[in-house]
Amino acid sequence: MEPDNPLLDAWLLSLTGTATPKVCFLATASGDAEGYIEGFHNAFSRLPCIPRHLPLFRREDADLRAAVLSQDLIYVGGGNTANMLAVWRVHGLDAVLREAWEAGVVLAGLSAGSLCWFEGGVTDSFGEALAPMNDGLALLPGSHCPHYDGEALRRPRYRQLVRSGALPPGLAADDGVALRFSGATLTEVVASRRDAHAWRVTADGEERLDARYLG
């Protein structure tokens, strides 16, 4: 989302603890859009890593488990979260990603690639009105809302869904914010913008979680 600001991408690479980490991009949510994949390679080719992508619509890797577990960082792109999860499950990639998480591979992503790790969240997968989704991978507890300050409907809709019980309490992130977890425990919030924050949202309201600016 910030092609001229590599702060979050460089920070993600540092989490691997490897000088030249292997990074795999999953563009499933966009239907493996060629322009999106090209954008990933353009961004990460400027950083100290070995980038690759893993397509599923024209699948090239027979052994997804070997492809994923050989990586240091899995980076999931944005798009249609519900469609992405359905495709992952057809190919068995959901189970592979859980195994990778348990093995210590860094899992990350933006938009759909942020939402997918939680039990559920608010999504535009079913239309612009924004709907609850409750069948995420559930590696992380509760619900999630990306683009909290980036799209006008996100904040009020997410708060409404949590308040009504349609979604469990959870975490929201402004654009440019990353939530870092160790296992299923939130350990840090970082940001590529000084004015960006994360938020803990419950039926009673929201609590701001200040982010460490990476600049």
Asked whether the beta carbons of 112 and 77 are under 8 A apart, the reply is: yes
Dist. CA 211–CA 192, nearest whole Å? 9
pTM: predicted TM-score of the whole model, two decimal places: 0.96
Res 64: pLDDT: 98
The model's pLDDT over 150-180, given as tens digits with 9 standing for 90+, comes to 999 999 999 999 999 999 999 999 999 999 9
Determine whether 41 is an active site residue: no
Q: How far apart, in whole angstroms, are the C-alpha atoms of residue 184 and residue 141?
A: 7
Q: What's the rounded mean pLDDT across residues 67-94?
A: 98
pLDDT, mean of residues 187-211: 97
| List 111, 114, 125, 143, catalytic entry | 111
Residue 122: predicted pLDDT:
98
> Which residue is it, tokens 């990778």?
100
pLDDT of amino acid 128: 86
Say whether pLDDT at 77 is over 90. yes
- In the chain, domain spans: 1-111, 117-209
Q: Which residue out of 30, 143, 144, 147 is catalytically annotated?
A: 147
Is 147 one of the catalytic residues? yes
CATH of domain 1-111: 3.40.50.880
- Provide the percentage of residues in the chain whose pLDDT is more than 90: 97
pLDDT above 80 for 1: no
